[in-house]
Structure 1
Amino acid sequence: MTSQAVLQKLQSRASLADRLLRELRTQLEFVRKSAVEKACLAEEERLSRENQVLRRQVETLKQRLIKAEIENGVKQVPLPGAKPSLAPSVVTSAPPALKVDSKPEPLKVNGMAAATVEKKEVVPKKDSKKEAKTEKKADAKPAGAAAAESGDKVDVSRLNMRIGKIVNVKKHPDADSLYVEEVDVGEPKTRTIVSGLVQHVPLEQMQDRIGVFLSNLKPAKMRGILSEGMIMCGSSPEKVEIIDPPIGAAIGDRVVVDGYSGGPDEQLNPKKEIWEQIQPDLRINDAGVATYKGIPWNVRNLGPFKVATMTNSGIK
């Protein structure tokens, strides 16, 4: 075979390879768009259901408000072209207008006198209980300010971080990016924890892994499976690495930070956003060590908590 024939054959194969690559890219893009559309449709359907429930609740509250106003003598004026909110039987149940016999009946000029009498009769009675509640609300301070004044500290001592071992791990049946782990943190039974680490840590490296687990978050469902905590990791937009405890740390040991004493909350209140306030101060320093406000984590003075390669990143 001449060199010219060989060259032509190589060029033909290269062209074929380019065509196959283009076809693969097209197919991958189609699959990606299909997955995104499916996820968007599911979310749209969920939001639509929630909106329907909210509309029904709003309508019920409107009916109650109108009924309460009628009982207190407030006249209902329907908008032009709008249907009355309540049935005629309900509207007619309003108390009759009081007659004022002590004064002579005023002259009616284009209905003005009637409107004046009507206006006096419509003034509702003052509710002393409602006034008291209004005054209390006016004097009330924001929740955050009240917590600060009462001395409630928000620092790492509120977190219940424990040494734990992943005794069993598998992929989430309904989410390709999630692992479902059974974790021993020194309690009578294991905890189920769902983690989004499929893209960052191979399955075989998760099995029997020793790590740090935040165990007093409020349990929450992740794609249908209740997660009872979170594995602590160094995190950046490009990379996520599990934080490794020092050698000798025992399952169930609590992770603390020197200078921040106190017991953890039994469960962090999501409404107070305690975790959200503490998390920005949790950092991997330039030596790859887990810290809080620059102070290394500690468990029985056994040594630092480290990640494999990351530096100067957040912790989540």
Structure 2
Amino acid sequence: MDDGDNLFHPSMAAALMKLDPEDGEQIMEYFKTQALLLREKALLQASVRDQKKLLVENGKLKKDIEQLRSQLQERQRRRTAKALLSPAPPPPRIDPAPTTPVNQPAGASASTNPPPSSSHDQRERPSRRRRGERKARPTSDSLSLGAEPHVDVSRLDLRVGRILSVRRHPLAEGMSVQEVDVGEDGPRTVVSKLGGKTPLEELRGGLAVLLCNVKACKLRGVVSQARLLSCCSSDACTELLTPPTGSTPGDRVTFLNYPGEPDRELQARDRVWELLQPDLQVDSRGVANYKGRGFEVKGKGLCRAPSLTDAVIR
């Protein structure tokens, strides 16, 4: 019996033959043919669904393979970069061979030589030497390459400040003490050499240029937290540098072609201020500059001396 026969119960075939003896067989054949066609259609649809499912799974597998390939390539690049950037291992240390003094008997050499160090001491020595090399590495590198710290005016933290109060120094006749607002939570105390012929009353409420990243130091008993920049002519006349109109406390003073952030605090050993000071001058127009680049408050203008020209800045 074929698949078509399995689709119909014998009682159904007998009922059709009883109802229509002449055409019963043809009707049964028609039903069998339709049943087989429906089964083939169902099988075809199932195979199409399976094919689509396989295509989706293949696409997902391809995507996973591409991700794994990218991860492997990235790890390989990192390993290569790490190998290129890692420092070369230090050369092994070669200890000189022990020598026997000329006038020492040969038989006494074994008894006078120091006892061999233990394995613990042998492990300790290389580790101590490596720690010492790591600490001294920056100095040795700079000496071997002949490198010097980069020194230009961008290392100075120059800001606009407003002088809130001014008084004579209690212990130094030629000095004065100012309280200056530089845009911080509280004012800074500044000790300056403006206590001679300078009319201190005229300074109160005025704007000035301050070097703010100097190390705080005590001058004749008073701690100074910044430095007021002034200019001095050959006849010992001194004036404070004046910021441009519209400046406010805390404005940065910068220089064209000298970008960069200033040091957090100037170190005395670097002598940055001493090295830069010869190039800090007031030109013939009264403009304060460094190597021809003016002291500039961005968007507001240049810093100047009130009346002096061709003067040094200190």
TM-score by length of 1: 0.55
2:263 paired residue among 259, 262, 265: 265
Quick one: structure 1 residues 258 and 223, their matched pair in 2 at CA, closer, same or farther if it must change by over 3 Å? same
1:310 corresponds to: 308
2:167 corresponds to: 170
Q: Does 1:208 align with 2:205?
A: yes
Q: Does 1:245 align with 2:243?
A: yes
2:285 corresponds to: 287
Match of 2:277, SS state, is: helix
Quick one: structure 1 residues 130 and 259, their matched pair in 2 at CA, closer, same or farther if it must change by over 3 Å? same
How many angstroms apart in 2 are the aligned matches of 1:313 and 1:257? 19
2:227 corresponds to: 230
1:187 corresponds to: 184
Match of 1:211, SS state, is: strand
Alignment of 1:118-133 (within 5 A): none
How many angstroms apart in 1 are the aligned matches of 2:244 and 2:144? 37
How many angstroms apart in 2 are the aligned matches of 1:220 and 1:252? 22
Quick one: structure 1 residues 159 and 176, their matched pair in 2 at CA, closer, same or farther if it must change by over 3 Å? same
Contact between 2:254 and 2:298, CA under 8 Å: does it hold in 1? no
1:140 corresponds to: 140
Quick one: structure 1 residues 147 and 226, their matched pair in 2 at CA, closer, same or farther if it must change by over 3 Å? farther
- State the Cα distance separating 1:199 from its structure 2 match: 2.1
How many angstroms apart in 2 are the aligned matches of 1:164 and 1:230? 11
2:275 corresponds to: 277
- State the Cα distance separating 1:141 from its structure 2 match: 5.5
Counterpart residue type for residue 308 of structure 2: M
- State the Cα distance separating 1:140 from its structure 2 match: 2.4
Computing the radius of gyration over CA atoms, which structure comes out larger, 1 or 2? 2
Match of 1:275, SS state, is: helix
2:252 corresponds to: 254
Equivalent pairs, count: 203
Alignment of 1:10-49 (within 5 A): none
Alignment of 1:56-135 (within 5 A): none
- State the Cα distance separating 1:292 from its structure 2 match: 0.7
Structure 2: tracts of 5 or more residues without a match: 1-103, 118-124
Match of 1:140, SS state, is: helix
Structure 1: tracts of 5 or more residues without a match: 1-111
Match of 2:201, SS state, is: helix
- State the Cα distance separating 1:304 from its structure 2 match: 2.3
Q: Which moved further from structure 2: 238-247 or 138-147? A: 138-147
Quick one: structure 1 residues 299 and 134, their matched pair in 2 at CA, closer, same or farther if it must change by over 3 Å? closer
Q: Does 1:298 align with 2:296?
A: yes
How many angstroms apart in 2 are the aligned matches of 1:263 and 1:270? 19
> CA offsets, 1:176-201, max 9 Å, x none?
00000000000000000000012242
Contact between 1:257 and 1:295, CA under 8 Å: does it hold in 2? yes
Counterpart residue type for residue 266 of structure 2: L
